[in-house]
Amino acid sequence: MMKVMSKKITAAKFKKIFLGSGKTDGLTKKIIVIALLIGIGFVYLYPLLFMVVNSMMNSTDLVNPTVRWVPTELYFGNFKIAYRVLEANKALITSILMAGIPALLQTTSCALIGYGFARFEFPLKKLCLLLLVATFIIPVQVTMVPRYMLFDAYKMINTALPSVVPAILGQGIKGSIFVLIFYQFFRSYPIVLDEAAEIDGASQLTIFLKIALPMSIPAIVVTFLFSFVWYWNETYLSGLFFGKVIQTLPMKLQSFVDSYTKLYPTTDGSTVNKLNESIRMAGTLITIAPLIFMYLFLQKQFVESADKSGITGE
C-alpha cells in the first residue's frame, strides 16, 4: 500500500515539474517557449549581427573562406570610408530635420483631427472616416503622379514642402493610421471630463490642450516615433520630390556605389580601392545607427505607450 502511494506521489511530482499545475507552468512548456523566443529572436537579429561582423572585416578576411563570424582583427577603416562617402556630417543633420519636423507636425495635426472626429458630430462624418481609411488602403503609386503634378504646379518640387505641407494637414506618411489612433484614444476616456470643463467655462481649444492632450501622451509617443522612423526610411517619394537638392542618409545610401566610385576611382586597374561588401555593410550600419540608438534610449517609454494606446503591431 505504501509503495503504491509513494509511486502516486512521485508521478504527481513528476507531472507538476514537467507539465505544471493550474498556477505554474511546467518545465516542458518553459523549454518550448524559450526555444521559440530564441528562434524568433535569431531570425530578427541575424541580419544585424551579420552586418556588424562583416562591417569590421578587412578585405583579406572578407575573401577568406575560413573566416565567417570572428574576424582576425577588428578593422574600423570601413566605417571611415563609408562615413566619408555618405557625407554623414551633413546628411545626418538633414535626415534628422527632414524626419523630425514632419513627424512633429503630423503628430500635432493628427491629434487635432482625431479629437474632432471623436468629440464632434457633423454631417457626413462616417463618409469622411471612410475616405480617411481609403487614403491608407490606396497604394502610394496610384496617387504619385497626381501629387507630383500638384506639387509641381505650386512650385514645391526640389523643396521640403512636399514633406511638410501634407504633414501639417494630417496627410503625411501613413497619417490616416495616426488619426485613427487618436480617434480611438479620445473616444476611450470619459466624456464627462470634457463636460465638467465646459461647465466651468473652458473652450473646446482649452479642453483639447489641457485635458485631451495630457491624457493622450501614450498615443503621442507612439505616433511620433512611428512617424519619425517612416519619414527617416522614406527614399522613393523623397527622391521624386526632392531630387538631388535634399539628400538624407538613406538617399545617400541608395547612390552609395556611384559615390564611392567617384571618390575612390580605380584608374590603374588594381583591386585595392574596389568597393567590397564590408564597406557597404558599414554604410548601411551608419544609416540605421540613429534609429537603433533612439529605440534603445526610448524602449521603455515606447513599449508602455504602445500598450496604453492599444497598438498591437504594424
Q: Is the distance from CB of 245 to CB of 163 less than 8 angstroms?
A: no
64 in any annotated domain: no
Q: Is the distance from CB of 218 to CB of 308 less than 8 angstroms?
A: yes
The CATH number that applies at residue 174 is: 1.10.3720.10
pLDDT-derived band at 313, boundaries 50, 70, 90? very low
Residue 189 belongs to what domain range?
A: 104-253+284-309
pLDDT at 312 over 50: no
Kindly state the cell numbers that stand for 195. Answer: 463636460
> What pLDDT score does 270 carry?
47
Report the mean per-residue pLDDT for the chain. Answer: 81
- Transcribe 76-124 into DSSP letters: -HHHHHHHHHHTHHHHHHHHHHHHHHHHHHHHHHHHHHHHHHHH---TT
264 in any annotated domain: no
Give the number of other Cβ atoms within 10 Å of residue 223's Cβ: 28
170 in any annotated domain: yes
Least confident of 51-60, 62-71, 210-219: 62-71
305 in any annotated domain: yes
200 in any annotated domain: yes
pLDDT-derived band at 105, boundaries 50, 70, 90? very high
Q: What is the pLDDT of residues 206-219, one digit of tens each?
A: 888 888 888 888 88
4 in any annotated domain: no
pLDDT-derived band at 110, boundaries 50, 70, 90? very high
164 in any annotated domain: yes
Structural domains of the chain, count? 1
99 in any annotated domain: no
Give the number of other Cβ atoms within 10 Å of residue 103's Cβ: 24
